[in-house]
Structure 1
Amino acid sequence: MSGAPALATEGRSGGERRKLLLPAVIFLLLALAPLAVHLGMPASWLPLLTRALIFAIAALSLDLILGVGGLVSFGHAAFLGIGAYATGIMITEGRSETLLILPVVLLACAVFGAVTGAVCLRTRGVAFIMITLAFGQMVYFLAQALSAYGGDDGLTLYERSTLLGIDLFASRSSFFYTVLASLAGCYLLVRAIVASRFGRVLRAARENPTRVSVTGFDVDRVRLIAYVLSGMIAGLAGFFLANHTEFVSPAFISWQRSGELIFMTVLGGVGSLHGAIIGAIAYLIAEDALSHLTEHWRVIFGPQIVLFVLFTRGGIVGMLKRAGGGR
């Protein structure tokens, strides 16, 4: 009889190792991307992959509340825009030090998430979607009204952030590895949150919030904390996006951008975390490839994404699991 628990424990350990294998392979392949450029891959691919990793951070943050918490936010790009604008404004005002910018970015996103989340989380379903959309559009129109910082035309940045006087973004490779390291850190953080007691409560609340409340947990509080953490991670993506594009625009905050983040998450596989990373990379690479074929690429790209999501269970991660013999 004593052998049965041991076998069960070994089975769980094997399952955990298999779950970690795909994320490990993803990060290993991404780490080799600059080497591939040196070996002949087009140099333009490195900035594209850097942009994809930035959006992967944003998609990962959305997956925390969408895939784990079951909260469909259609205003998540607001956090991306807040992070980008806070970065752009501070750089414009001569404050380019990352150790100054990042606390401001994270604090701004946390405050916005706490205030708006307290309102949004009073609702459920379609009402929640519409209120998050409304708050997102509010930030969008606020950005348009910032005439001192470009208004509707956007804000051009003439320098990038530095860290203790060191230009981390001086070269494409150093920028890429900085974003990749941040993505890996965010992934490990979110994974730890999901695996914790807090994450289990958040996941259970997605299935049956009434039952979770009866057991003594404050579902609204748990969801609000997750919403704020998600917004802060998306704000980090905004910080990188502003430095990458050297331009900040209200377009970063539009509801279309929020829709794209949802598409990325669903495309990769909702709730798998690393699926959000795969989805963001696949989305932006496909978008870039089609845009080089025709100026009407959206007419082709949109239906393809919709059909893929409709007829592919579990997104790209689900396809990979079935290909590997998993369920």
Structure 2
Amino acid sequence: MTDTPPAAPPAASRFGREGLIALVVFACFALLPPLAGALDDSFLVFFAIRVMVFAIAAVSLSLILGFGALVSFGHAAYLGIGAYCVGILAEHNYWDVTVSLPVTLLVCGLFAAVTGAISLKTRGVYFIMITLAFGQMAYYTATSLSAYGGDDGLTIWGRTEVLGSTMLSDRTTFYYVVLGVLVLTYLLARMIVASRFGRVLQGAKQSEMRLSAIGVDPYWYRLVAYVISGMMAGVAGALLANAAEFVSPAYMSWHRSGELIVMVVLGGLGSLIGAVVGAASFLALEEVLSHFTEHWRLLFGPFLVLVVLFGRGGLLSLLPGGRKDG
């Protein structure tokens, strides 16, 4: 017999490769402000903030879509709810993060708990349709808030304060705060996926009947994952409101939910860093293609089809060290 060590489990190997890709991606984000300063191009910083905010939302969706097979077509509702929490509190002169963050997490968590408890009683296309219905309910509720701008949206005259400090008013400081939240969201989601809780979630995705046979009810695990995902997306919405200093019902539209799904699929299902790569790629392609035509989605559509057909693991599988198994 030889002393050759056993090969690493596929899951561990995958997490190792994705961890390396994550380090590279986050390092690129960290180095972007100095690069933008050297190029005297402030747009790069604003664009990267937008990318990171939607990457947080995409990671939150990837947690339930990629690992729980829960195709939520109303996920943008949490993005909008988080944004409106910041906007409405600011309208009533509550600016500090010690108020806006707990309120955002509480409201998004409650909305996710109530809608998730109902939605998770269904499966397949019925789950998609009921999450779409709840998302549209949130959208039309926002458009009816005439005291807060209604369909025209709500302007926020400043950014959230931190213990009375206006430090987030500085563009570079705000940039690195958003990056820090993205890294924390990614690490939290990765920790969840690697835990026993995450294994149950993935087991339910593969065979709910097997879990039931050993006495595990996947319903409550899915509900908790759904609530956590909604709260993460709510934080992304709060950051989006601060970045744009504006809140709009359009944040909650089903089109935005569809875009979040595309970001996750484009980067690679079952990959958290793939969601970040997918968000960055989607928004970069939107920015570039929209300069050529307002119908840029006609060009993006065939590209997405090619990625799905030839890159079974999404764009992540095309990167060095990326997954090849889809």
CA distance in 2, matches of 1:221, 1:266: 25
Contact kept? 1:313, 1:319, Cα under 8 Å? no
Give the partner amino acid of 1:308. V
CA distance in 1, matches of 2:182, 2:138: 25
Contact kept? 1:53, 1:183, Cα under 8 Å? yes
Match of 1:235 in 2: 234
Give the partner amino acid of 1:227. Y
CA distance in 2, matches of 1:258, 1:234: 11
CA distance in 1, matches of 2:273, 2:322: 16
SS of 1:164's partner is: coil
SS of 2:66's partner is: helix
CA distance in 2, matches of 1:95, 1:325: 46
Deviations 1:264-292 (A, max 9, x none): 00000011100000000111111111222
CA distance in 2, matches of 1:255, 1:33: 32
SS of 1:265's partner is: helix
How many residue pairs are counted as aligned between the two chains? 325
CA distance in 2, matches of 1:252, 1:240: 12
CA distance in 1, matches of 2:10, 2:309: 33
TM-aligned CA deviation for residue 114 of structure 1: 0.5
CA distance in 2, matches of 1:310, 1:92: 48
Structure 1 unpaired stretches of 5+: none
TM-aligned CA deviation for residue 45 of structure 1: 1.0
TM-aligned CA deviation for residue 10 of structure 1: 9.9
Aligned residue runs from structure 1 range 203-218, under 5 A = 203-218=202-217
Contact kept? 1:168, 1:178, Cα under 8 Å? no
Closer, same or farther: CA 2–190 of 1 in aligned 2, 3 Å:
farther
Deviations 1:81-128 (A, max 9, x none): 110011100011100101100000000011001100010000000000
- TM-score, normalised by the number of residues in structure 1: 0.94
Q: Say which is worse superposed, 86-95 or 164-173, in terms of deviation.
A: 164-173
Give the partner amino acid of 1:105. T
Deviations 1:131-177 (A, max 9, x none): 00000000000001100000011111112101012223222211111
Match of 2:262 in 1: 263
CA distance in 1, matches of 2:79, 2:186: 17
CA distance in 1, matches of 2:214, 2:157: 54
Match of 1:87 in 2: 86
Structure 2 unpaired stretches of 5+: none
Q: Say which is worse superposed, 208-217 or 86-95, in terms of deviation.
A: 208-217
Contact kept? 2:167, 2:173, Cα under 8 Å? yes
Deviations 1:38-72 (A, max 9, x none): 22162201100100100000000000000000000
Closer, same or farther: CA 63–13 of 1 in aligned 2, 3 Å:
closer
Closer, same or farther: CA 11–140 of 1 in aligned 2, 3 Å:
closer
CA distance in 2, matches of 1:122, 1:145: 29
TM-aligned CA deviation for residue 17 of structure 1: 3.5
CA distance in 2, matches of 1:147, 1:132: 25
Match of 1:129 in 2: 128
TM-aligned CA deviation for residue 319 of structure 1: 1.4
- TM-score, normalised by the number of residues in structure 2: 0.94
Give the partner amino acid of 1:281. A
Deviations 1:15-47 (A, max 9, x none): 654332111111111110011112216220110
